[in-house]
Amino acid sequence: MSPSPSDDADDLPGRGYLATNPAELVWDYFNWPGKLSSPDLAYTWDQYNGITS
């Protein structure tokens, strides 16, 4: 899979994180009223979890 054209060299935590941990990525990048103090990482299903290139 090729990197996204919007993938910057300084993006954290790293390439592919949107697929493997979308809640934490959204929590890191965006602010909203009522935002929790930490991301909710208690997913029950993620179709990309455990897939490696």
Q: Return the SS3 of 40.
A: coil
Task: Tell me what pLDDT residue 26 has.
Answer: 84
- DSSP codes joined into one string, 2-26: PPPTT--TT-SS-TTHHHH-HHHHH
Instruction: For 11-52, write each residue's pLDDT tens digit.
Output: 666 677 777 778 888 888 889 999 989 888 777 676 766 665
| Per-residue pLDDT band at 1 (split at 50, 70, 90) | low
Decide: 24 and 49 in contact? Cβ < 8 Å.
no
Q: Which amino acid is at 9?
A: A
Q: At 14, phi and psi to the nearest 5? A: 155, 170
Rounded distance between C-alpha atoms, residue 23 and residue 45, angstroms: 12
